[in-house]
Amino acid sequence: MRNSALAALTVLAGVAALILGVAAPASAHVLPTSTVVLEVHDDAMDAQLRIPVTDLVSASGINLGDETAADLAAHDSAVAAYIARHFAPESATAHLVPPDGADPRMFDLGYDVVVHRIVTHAVIVSVQNDWSGGVVESARGLGTIRRDTVTGEITPLTVDLGAASAWTGFTSLVSLGLSHIREGVDHQLFLLTLLLPAPLIVAAGRWAGPARPRTAVKRIASITIAFTIGHSVTLALGALGLPAPQPVVEALIAVSILIAAVHAVHPIFAGREAVVATAFGLVHGLAFSATLTGLHLSGGQLVLSLLGFNLGIELMQLIVVALVLPPLMVLARTRSYRPLRLAAACATGIAAVGWLAQRVGFANPIASAADGIEGVSVYLVVVLWISALTVVGYARLPLTRSGRSAAGRLTGSSIRYPWENAS
């Protein structure tokens, strides 16, 4: 199997410089196409070009020797000059900075790199990041530049980015935040595992019976708020440029889940959950920030994005807590909560170990399986609610039927109220 290297070229807005690199080898049967990916910013646009090196050589006449990354780098300026001759956006001046009065969202791309010479070549154009157009973290196709076989002419591609507004950018970041937690199984598991023992009291250094509902709710609220404060701080710092080595952050997140799982089995920081939640919130926030920095935003767009993204994260977090906590609090009063808590904590612990191994470089089936939990989490929530409602229904049954006090039956049921016994 022969490989064809691709050159990755970045035309930087306002800077007459090209960064050359060799991308991953393409499969030999992949169609020999170039791609142009636009990133739309406040006042300029980046275009990232990927061109099959052999086609670049044929079309430009530049001899790139063995067509390696080093050969490309050595001919950097010649390649840049060739591309500049064949990439002249109509309503924009140098490097996609729109001139005064030109519509920055609708223009002729003016691109015929390689196609001008290689008749059978095609260029696929898409927009990857367009904050105010609502395109974040996913690409939208804009069209293909190729020769019309009937006329023999290259049909110019008119880029139409559509309507744009700050509100569109903000709301797209809110939904990005929502999906980030919905798909971020590790973040959900950390929070839920931390909350697993929250409805319980500690007796003799072990998790004992259920806490009073008011106490449980307070504890849950404080853990959730503490986690939020933690990750909000580092999300902002990370997005503003605080360096965060993602492999380390990802590994630490796995560690945080493991510690939460151990705590759910046996209390190791009872009463200081909020402190721990804040500390690990700082770690999780650094992971969130990587998503934002990937969007290459600045100024007002960055501030609005921070706000919107964080809001989305909080909303989804609250939804998860609201979905899971009520049934947990009900089940915490039953004898079945102990095996449930231990099973959930152990499963989470195993997943955390799998993730940790994966994130320090040892791919394993446990991590892969854990990544797939997202698909079944809805069913877990349904099972929790059915169990909880069954317990409630069973407890209420005698009251609604006969009107007699349920106390006598409750002693025979699985529900215990230690504080009532004490009073």
Partner 1 sequence: MPTLPAIFRSKRVITLVASTAVLGTLLTGCTATTSTAGTSTSTPSSTSTSTAPTTTAAGSVVAATEAFTATLTSDQLASLNQEYTLENAEAWSNLPQAMSRNRVGLQLSELDDSQLTALGTLLQAVTGTTAGEGYDEIQQLLNADDYLADNGGGSDYGSGNYFIAFLGTPSDTGTWELQFGGHHFAVANTYTDGVLAGATPSFRGVEPYGTFEQDGETNAPLESEQVALAAVLASLSTDQLSSAELDGVYRDLVLTPGNDWAFPADNEGVQVGTLAADQKALVLAAIATYVNDINDADAATILAKYESELDETYVSYSGGSSLTEQDDYIRIDGPSVWIEFSMQRGIILSGSHPHSVWRDSTTDYGGTQQQ
Q: With both helix axes pointing from N to C terminus, report the angle between 273-293 and 166-183 in degrees, rounded to the nearest 10.
A: 130
Q: Give the residue, chosen from 15, 16, 23, 28, that forms a contact with partner 1 under the rule CB under 8 A.
A: 28
Is 271 one of the binding residues for partner 1 (CB under 8 A)? Answer: no
Residues written for the chain: 423
Is 359 one of the binding residues for partner 1 (CB under 8 A)? Answer: no
What is the Cα–Cα distance from 321 to 220, expressed in whole angstroms?
9
Is 151 one of the binding residues for partner 1 (CB under 8 A)? Answer: yes
The footprint of partner 1 on residues 100-119 (CB under 8 A) is 117-119
Q: What is the DSSP string of 260-324?
A: HHHHHHS-SSTT-HHHHHHHHHHHHHHHHHHHHHTT---HHHHHHHHHHHHHHHHHHHHHHHHHH
Q: Give the residue, chosen from 21, 22, 32, 262, that forms a contact with partner 1 under the rule CB under 8 A.
A: 32
Q: Give the residue, chosen from 10, 35, 48, 58, that forms a contact with partner 1 under the rule CB under 8 A.
A: 58
Is 1 one of the binding residues for partner 1 (CB under 8 A)? Answer: yes
Is 26 one of the binding residues for partner 1 (CB under 8 A)? Answer: no
Q: Give the residue, chosen from 150, 163, 204, 422, that forms a contact with partner 1 under the rule CB under 8 A.
A: 150
Nearer to partner 1, 33 or 128 (CB): 33
Is 149 one of the binding residues for partner 1 (CB under 8 A)? Answer: yes
Is 213 one of the binding residues for partner 1 (CB under 8 A)? Answer: no
Q: Give the residue, chosen from 41, 75, 121, 263, that forms a contact with partner 1 under the rule CB under 8 A.
A: 121
Residue in 131, 140, 138, 137 with CA at minimum distance from that of residue 170: 131
| Count of residues that interact with partner 1, criterion CB under 8 A | 19
Nearer to partner 1, 25 or 300 (CB): 25
Residues 6+ apart with CB under 8 A from 154: 112, 115, 116, 145, 146, 147, 148
Residues 6+ apart with CB under 8 A from 274: 222, 223, 225, 226
Cβ 55 to partner 1, closest distance in Å?
A: 7
Structure tokens at 33: 């196409």
Residue 239: Cβ-neighbour burial (10 angstroms; 0-12, 13-18, 19+)? buried
Q: Which stretch binds partner 1 (CB under 8 A): 142-150, 271-279, 351-359, 369-377?
A: 142-150
Q: 3-state DSSP call for residue 206?
A: strand
Residue reference for tokens 């973040």: 187
In the sheet where 140-146 sits, what is the strand order? 18-26, 4-11, 45-52, 33-40, 122-130, 140-146
Is 66 one of the binding residues for partner 1 (CB under 8 A)? Answer: no
Binding mask 72-91 for partner 1 (x = CB under 8 A): --------------------
Q: Which stretch binds partner 1 (CB under 8 A): 52-60, 85-93, 287-295, 328-336?
A: 52-60
Q: Which residues bind partner 1 (CB under 8 A)?
A: 1-2, 28-29, 32, 54-55, 58-59, 117-121, 148-152
